[in-house]
Amino acid sequence: MRKTTLSKLKKLYREGEKIAAMTAYDASFAHWVSDAGMDVILVGDSLGMVVQGHDTTLPVSLDEMVYHTKMVQRGNQQAWCIADLPFMADATVDNALEASARLMKQAGANMVKLEGGRRVLPIVEALSDLGIPVCGHLGLLPQSVEKFGYHVKGKDRNSADRLLEEALALQEAGIEMLVLECVPSVLAAEITCKLSIPVIGIGSGQQVSGQVLVLHDVLGLTVGKTPKFSKNFLQESASVQAAINAYVAAVKNGSFPDASHEVG
């Protein structure tokens, strides 16, 4: 398989083909996810919950993100690899530059992702000016759950307008892609329409440029309550590889997510 590039992702976006993304945290799963033709692998700080057993993503360190990104890139054959900047790694511009350099140069990530809107604009600009591809993240922000909790974001007009303004500002600052988490589908569609970059949804409806899910949710390995926006693809598949293949196909043909996965 040929390596997926940012140019290829932008081509998929321009041509209206949905972008399929999924998390992975080690070489074996990265191999299976990549082999399914996944466009994007996200090495998410969600590993703090699904791999390490924490209640939130906050305890995940930069060293751990570097370690897991290295493992993923050993198994990844062709997908574009995005690595999360963990909690407080983007507290300052200098911190974010150092963390991004480690994730890309030392661990082999193709892009970094950071959470937030107005606060991170100077960081996005600094990273983009240095040629570092950046993915934004708006809506539910897992690194801010101690303050804001796990709730759908943008349900009222004021908060919806603020999210739209932040999305446009992030694009102006230089992000190449945006993740929208737990945003009402109508708002997600509006943001997607207003932006000129791919918008990847998780719990944000179908009218976005693509979807991302946590690997463990796709395989029914979730500990505790499964998110409403997710789906266990292994229930109807004969193997792990078949389940991941089915997820890619469902994203590409638009059958996932459907109305049953709406969160707000």
Q: Check if the beta carbon of residue 216 is closer than 8 Å to that of residue 244.
A: no
Residue 181 annotated in active site = yes
Q: Check if the beta carbon of residue 154 is closer than 8 Å to that of residue 183.
A: yes
The one catalytic residue in 181, 190, 236, 262 is 181
Residues with catalytic function: 181
